[in-house]
Amino acid sequence: MARMLAAKPYLQSACIRPDAQVDYDAYPYNIPAVKELGLLEFHADVTFLVGENGTGKSTLLEAIAVALDYSPQGGTRDFKVGGAESVSNLHENLRLARSFRKPRDGYFLRAESFFNVATFIDEIGDPTGYGATSLHGLSHGEVFMALLNNRFRGKGLYLLDEPEAALSPNRQLAALAAIHRLVEDKSQFIIATHSPILLSYPHAKIMLFDGTGLSEVAFEDTEHFAVTRDFLNHYPKRLEQLLTDAEND
Ligand SMILES: Nc1ncnc2c1ncn2[C@@H]1O[C@H](COP(=O)(O)OP(=O)(O)OP(=O)(O)O)[C@@H](O)[C@H]1O
Ligand SMILES: [Mg+2]
């Protein structure tokens, strides 16, 4: 029987163009995960980018977004906001492999500049389904949940940088359910996160960014899972150790 071509993942893989003239001693190519990117293959449903602060998750996600024609500040592809001065040129040297099927919807969310986008939407007005006439009447987390529940329409490719920044633990659980609903409706996500709650999503691939590059890791082998579980299970003892060590420093 002939194999059916799968529509997902819309974004199949990313690598540095083999003919790219880049300086591997300078930002962003000196970041181990960028230098050792190899062929990063995305999961059809969710790909998580995890790792310590400063390991290059946002740099890579932003480059993917810009290569896909999003504003580096985030938003939909129609929103062009200013302030792109700090964007690296990684997007120019990325080769992205895409499905024959284009996603029908998309969004690039970066928590750090989210309010720029919210302001922009407020200014131009958006009658088409954010679920609120003014996003500024809502809290950070409420705006994000409004996006997820009302604006993300499905059959989309969504790039999210630390979406949990806005969300209470309960809302992170609600976000997980919303992500699943969108995945079931033919959506693909690439999410940089530190949230052990989000990382537990089973239809996913977790890519760990560290000092040696990039590798795939299982949820229960992530530091996020191990450190959080250990701390919550033993927090009186762990706190005592931490605070005593701090006093002795
Ligand atoms: N414009 C820039 N010029 C030089 N170095 C930069 C620039 N932007 C970021 N960096 C450096 O690149 C590295 C990766 O940064 P990046 O923001 O991608 O990390 P991250 O993995 O997203 O971290 P976090 O978990 O804290 O969000 C950091 O060491 C950072 O200081
Ligand atoms: Mg980041």
Structure tokens at 170: 């309960």
Structure tokens at 29: 């190519």
Ligand 1 closest atom vs CA 52: 25
Closest residue by Cα to atom 6, ligand 1, is 27
Closest residue by Cα to atom 28, ligand 1, is 54
Delimit the domains of the chain by residue range.
Answer: 11-217
> What distances in angstroms separate CA 151 from CA 3, 80, 143, 144, one per listed residue?
34, 18, 10, 10
pLDDT in single tens digits along all 249 residues of the chain: 556 778 999 999 999 999 999 999 999 999 999 999 999 999 999 999 999 999 999 999 999 999 999 888 777 776 665 555 568 899 999 999 999 999 999 999 887 666 566 665 665 555 455 555 566 677 778 878 888 888 899 999 999 999 998 899 999 999 999 999 999 999 999 999 999 999 999 999 999 999 999 999 999 999 999 999 999 999 999 999 999 988 888
Query: How many whole angstroms separate alpha carbon 209 and alpha carbon 31?
Result: 10
Residues 6+ apart with CB under 8 A from 200: 176, 219, 225
246: three-class secondary structure by DSSP: helix
Q: What pTM was estimated for this model as a whole?
A: 0.91
Out of 3.40.1350, 1.10.3470, 3.40.50, 2.130.10, select the CATH number for domain 11-217: 3.40.50
